[in-house]
Amino acid sequence: MSITNIFSLSKIRSKIRDFLIVSRINIQVGTPPNALIGILLAAKNLEDILNLHIVTYFILCILLVTFASNINCLYDISVDEKYKKHLSKAVRSLGRKNIKIILLIEVMVGFSLMYFLYLRGYFVVFFLAVVGLFLAIAYSMPPLRIKKRGFLSPLPVFFGLYLLIPVGGWYMVRNDLTFDAVIFFSSYFLMNSGFILVNVTEDYQEDREENIRTWAHIMGVKNTLKIALIFSLFGYLAIVVISKHLINKPFAILFLLFAIFGISLSSFDIYKAMQEGSIKRYAKKMPFWFIITRYPMVLALFVSLF
């Protein structure tokens, strides 16, 4: 291999790494469960989930979250420059123009997948995906830039990631929304929103310097963390709903016990962040919270289908 080829290969690897950084790959480890949990909750057997439509929906969810991460990094470059320098550095390395081209490609592919599902009769899923795409744009991109608008600031993230995606998964399998499903989606939504609020408080100083107003600035950091702690405890209610699917499924119940442990550990971390004031330290554990709470839930529901 020539020296030129080696340098070219190194450059490609560098660009791929930068793209993964602006796609928030560290947080996206928690995205697959969001896409799968509604599907598995609605499914009655393996046949319900083993089809091309489910695969299409899963890819669409990953794509939309990637798009949301990319556009957020693009328009948050000045904020990230103050603390999360690896994000702003990756944006500059890729180039703003190139990121905008990537965003356009993501939208085009996303609409193609959404239209495919629409043609197959998944009208509710199509509508939820359109709303999710709008929220991703409105959250980060001027002139709306909801991220800086006080009480509204975290709502696009809350609803886009932790309600629309799981509910869309449910409607990929069935069209009736049961009472148990409403309780589960509400509690799952609140639990994950609690985790995100820790991230909101983490950026308190940097956001204030950039004239971004969040819940932490309205209610104060400690009060926001109190809300985060209360929200995180709703994960136990999600466990109660899932447990109804696991009657006579001892192996699945084992995964549910792991989920209970994960919720307990995550909530305790939020409590310690509130008591110690070491928010940036604990906010780095957010991807870990996603893994230890979401994946055991997904595995418990998956095993229950056998």
Per-residue pLDDT of the chain (306 residues; tens, 9 = 90+): 444 444 467 778 888 899 999 999 888 888 999 999 999 999 999 999 999 999 999 999 999 999 999 999 999 888 888 778 888 999 999 999 999 999 999 999 999 999 999 999 999 999 999 999 999 999 999 998 998 888 898 999 999 999 999 999 999 999 999 999 999 999 999 999 999 999 888 888 888 887 888 888 899 999 999 999 999 999 999 999 999 888 778 888 899 999 999 999 999 999 999 898 778 888 889 999 999 999 999 999 999 998
CB-based contact 203:287 (threshold 8 Å): no
Residue that the structure tokens 């084992």 belong to? 254
| CA dihedral sign of residues 243, 245, 250, 254 | negative
Nearest CA to 29 out of 301, 237, 290, 228 is that of 290
Q: In terms of residues, how long is the chain? A: 306
Q: Which residues, 6+ apart, have CB-to-CB distance to 217 below 8 Å?
A: 150, 204, 207, 208
- Other CB atoms within 10 Å distance of the CB of residue 75: 17
pTM for this model (two decimals): 0.91
Residue that the structure tokens 């980060």 belong to? 140
Please name every residue paired with 149 in a beta bridge, in sequence order, or none if there are none. 213
The CA R_g of the chain, rounded to the nearest whole Å, is 20
